[in-house]
Amino acid sequence: MHDPIRAGLAAGWKHVDASTLGKGQTVEADVVIVGSGAGGGVTADILSAAGLRVILVEEGPLRSSTDFRMRESDAYPELYQDSAARKTADKAINILQGRCVGGSTTVNWTSSFRTPPEVLAYWQRHFGLRQLSAEAMSSWFAVMEHKLWVRPWETPPNQNNRVLGSGAEKLGIPIDAIRRNVKGCWNLGYCGMGCPTNAKQSMLLTAIPAALNRGATLYTRLRAERLRFSGGRISALDCMALRPDGIHPSGKRVQLRARHFVSAAGAIGSPALLLRSGVPDPHRLLGKRTFLHPVVISSALMPERVDAYAGAPQTLYSDFFLQQAAIDGPLGFKLETPPLHPVLYATTLQGFGAAHQALMREFTRVNVILALLRDGFNPESQGGQVRLGRDGLPVLDYPLGEVIWEAARRALLAMAEIQFAAGARAVTPVHETAPLYSSWAQAKKGIAELPLKPLLCRVVSAHVMGGCGMADAPQRGVVDHRGRHFWLGNLSVLDGSVFPTSLGANPQLSIYGLVARNASLLAADLSGRPPPLIP
């Protein structure tokens, strides 16, 4: 398999693995971008195309198809935040988030949704983001869909998705197909461990190589520590090199100077960087309203083999339960499926000893459905808060209150009903005291009475949003609709942290589209050229 990243490095890309630095250094560029995920990747591509000298800073390592061996034991420690075990402060929510070049786009499951029009309309009404209409944004989504090969997925869904599809169909619940950003996908099912065939059109394979081909510099194993500013302008970013283990600081420091700074460290990393730097925050908004699409999980034993580890992981979904109430009413939820691999499933599954083993023995016959709760619209759903722990590293508090549990119960019921309709022999919500229900009637009664509390009911997340919310005024947001910081003239935030609510959809395409717009506006500002024609 040709590895375009290794080929690019051999051809002379400027990549500095900071863990190999023998001494500290100071470097200058036009723009410094912190983070190489969906936000940082698109920004680096667009700014470098405008002729700007760009430095991209990534805390994780540079890994590529040669390294992607489809083994959980390699992939989680190498490619994820905290070995795929990042957690909220109370440990009640496990967060899957990338930590490598390409960020979460390197390890996501390729699901591609535009920001739903009702979400943009809500932002216009409640946060004064009148510029971000569905019409204005549509061309930006179209540009990125074209660039990243977002297409309908023509291959038949794997059996895990088919269970969701057939159960929903029997109940009259509409199901749709998920579009995916892949080119020549082999339908292997190991997207979460890095695509071994270079089919996934992640930042790692698209925007970042484009920027490196134009002379951008990529630093890896380099942690952005603090922005230095005075008089409303940032002068430098102080960074700390990590050792080859990617965990311990090496003691070497790198200072990056530039005209403009972009924070694209994600919805936990960006607020943390700004908090550490002590940037002006007179309205105390920084780090607040962090959203997770809290996910609850239902596991079913099917009569036939499901082999949920094989085949494209997410190809069918239902938004039916997002549409049953007003957007700010009781929380709606999106239904999707996850891939199942032994470590991911065994650690997520409740219980231990013989009971756990009995379920694991059925591993190949297990179907799992996920419900992603749409947080941040109901007035009771204020999300979480990023604050700084010891060492200045981020800690996320996310209280799971009644408004979440009410929706979680509806979601667990809906998923169990779908699984039984699809022919499940037994269903269990992933919950410490839930038994295996053997009929829908039994599940309906059982789930209605299940105590739903943090750490009893398993909650996970793969979508982190908010914390540097955008709005029309500094009383209501950290940045404006272009991602420009309200108080520091040469700081932009270009990632999912600017979303003022969650999305009710997997976020990658929402980040690509908004950042394509905002990086294009920034490129025009910095290069003195006219702004792009698309709005």
**Residues near other proteins, by CB under 8 A:** 1, 65, 69-73, 77, 81-83, 85, 90-92, 188, 190, 196-197, 243, 245, 247-248, 309, 342-343, 346-347, 349, 352-358, 360-361, 363-364, 389-391, 393, 395, 432-433, 454-456
Q: Which residue is associated with the tokens 């790198």?
A: 254
Integer CA distances (angstroms), 259 to 52, 53, 148, 229, in order: 10, 10, 29, 12
Counting beta carbons within 10 angstroms of the beta carbon of residue 63, is it exposed (0 to 12), middle (13 to 18) or buried (19 or more)?
buried
Q: Minimum Å distance from CB 343 to other proteins? A: 5
- One-letter identity of residue 28: E
Report the residue number, 87 or 476, with the smaller CB distance to other proteins. 87
Report the residue number, 232 or 389, with the smaller CB distance to other proteins. 389
Q: Minimum Å distance from CB 222 to other proteins? A: 16
Chain centroid, CA 164 distance in Å: 23
Q: Which residues contact 84 (CB under 8 A, 6 or more apart)?
A: 76, 96, 344
Report the residue number, 403 or 456, with the smaller CB distance to other proteins. 456
Report the residue number, 23 or 361, with the smaller CB distance to other proteins. 361
Q: Minimum Å distance from CB 311 to other proteins? A: 11
Helix/strand number for the chain, H first, E second: 14, 26
Q: Minimum Å distance from CB 490 to other proteins? A: 30
Token representation of residue 369: 């459905």
Pairing of strands 86-87, 54-57: unpaired
Report the residue number, 139 or 187, with the smaller CB distance to other proteins. 187
Q: Minimum Å distance from CB 2 to other proteins? A: 11
Q: Minimum Å distance from CB 308 to other proteins? A: 10
Report the residue number, 94 or 378, with the smaller CB distance to other proteins. 94
Distance CA 335, CA 316 (A): 9
Distance CA 161, CA 167 (A): 10
Q: Which residues contact 355 (CB under 8 A, 6 or more apart)?
A: none
Report the residue number, 29 or 308, with the smaller CB distance to other proteins. 308
Q: Please give the DSSP secondary-structure letter assigned to residue 110.
A: -
User: Considering only CA atoms, which of 163, 104, 141 is closest in space to residue 316?
Assistant: 163
Report the residue number, 81 or 206, with the smaller CB distance to other proteins. 81
Report the residue number, 352 or 528, with the smaller CB distance to other proteins. 352
Q: Minimum Å distance from CB 188 to other proteins? A: 6
Q: Minimum Å distance from CB 204 to other proteins? A: 16
Distance CA 44, CA 60 (A): 17
Report the residue number, 326 or 360, with the smaller CB distance to other proteins. 360
Q: Minimum Å distance from CB 372 to other proteins? A: 21
Distance CA 520, CA 256 (A): 23
Report the residue number, 234 or 349, with the smaller CB distance to other proteins. 349
Report the residue number, 56 or 459, with the smaller CB distance to other proteins. 459
Token representation of residue 71: 């083994």
User: Considering only CA atoms, which of 261, 266, 294, 291 is closest in space to residue 279?
Assistant: 261
Q: Minimum Å distance from CB 235 to other proteins? A: 29
Report the residue number, 258 or 301, with the smaller CB distance to other proteins. 301
Region class of 315: left (phi > 0), else alpha (psi between -120 and 50), else beta: alpha
Q: Minimum Å distance from CB 389 to other proteins? A: 6
Q: Minimum Å distance from CB 186 to other proteins? A: 8
Q: Give the three-state DSSP class for 352.
A: coil
Integer CA distances (angstroms), 271 to 208, 280, 379, in order: 23, 12, 22
Are 26 and 255 within 8 A, CB to CB?
Answer: yes
Q: Minimum Å distance from CB 94 to other proteins? A: 8
Are 126 and 500 within 8 A, CB to CB?
Answer: yes
Q: Please give the DSSP secondary-structure letter assigned to residue 423.
A: T
- Work out the angle at residue 401's Cα, subtended by the Cα atoms of residues 394 and 343, and round it to the nearest 5 degrees: 60
Q: Please give the DSSP secondary-structure letter assigned to residue 51.
A: T
Distance CA 339, CA 306 (A): 11
Integer CA distances (angstroms), 208 to 49, 105, 113, 448, 483, in order: 12, 12, 22, 48, 21
Distance CA 354, CA 78 (A): 32
